[in-house]
Amino acid sequence: MTTRFKDRSDAGRALAEKFEHYADRPNVVVLALPRGGVPVGYEVATRLRAPLDVFLVRKLGAPGHEEFAIGAIASGGLWFVNDDVVRQLGISRRQIQEIVEREERELERRSEVYGSDFSKADVRGQIVILIDDGLATGSTMRAAVAALKQKHPERIVIGVPVSSPSTCEELEREVDEIVCFHTPDQFYAVGEWYEDFSQTSDDEVRELLNRARTQFAQSVPPVPILWPTL
């Protein structure tokens, strides 16, 4: 029987142990998918002594059933939809465009609220560890991976505390490394593997990002001053 996590911070501490081989490496950055991935990512980044930022990705929900993902949109304007699902549900192009425009506005809002726009960052030569609180269909994570590939990092790694076994297996083929801490056979929803799965607020995301930035700045040794030889 898979043990449930107490909350997202507890899950992050457990997940962080799987990434010890990336600790104290100067080219590692942890990107969390907000909002639920940020408390998890904060614990991973703290353990690795690596910078933490958010990678803004939003699920595209079906009209009238917003919790059901038909695709996703990521920072930088990249979006995709599951054509098979769209056809099955009879969703029109106009409806898709309306959904995309609404979620684009939410991405812009979050970028302003969090003080972050990682879509403009240069990650060439970097090892990027993408963190979320769990994977069900994996649509938002796929959007994040697709967007990151366009930025040509050295390595893309995924880490989640819990995942559907099939989703973890599918994403394994799309990245350099993936760690799914729990892949229970009887998987129905991410939230059932947490005792506390209450919604993460924007204020909590902002607080954790600011705390991580302060900690990382303090952990970086000062650059030595090389005085010229007279």
pLDDT digits (tens, 9 = 90+) for 128-166: 999 999 999 888 898 889 888 888 999 999 999 999 999
Whole-prediction pTM: 0.84
Question: Percentage of residues in the chain with pLDDT exceeding 90?
Answer: 60
Asked if pLDDT for residue 121 goes beyond 80, the answer is no
Distance from C-alpha of 130 to C-alpha of 57, rounded to nearest angstrom: 11
Beta carbons of 99 and 61 less than 8 angstroms apart: yes
Query: Which of 4, 174, 156 lies closest to 80 in space, CA to CA?
Result: 174
pLDDT, residue 1, reads 54
Query: Which of 28, 52, 50, 25 lies closest to 41 in space, CA to CA?
Result: 52
pLDDT (tens digit per residue) in 32-90: 999 999 999 999 999 999 999 999 888 888 998 887 888 888 876 777 788 888 999 99
Q: For the chain, which residues make up each domain, given as ranges?
A: 8-55+115-214
Q: Residue 134 half-sphere exposure, CB side, CA atoms within 13 Å? A: 23
pLDDT, residue 72, reads 82
Fold of 8-55+115-214: Rossmann fold (3.40.50)
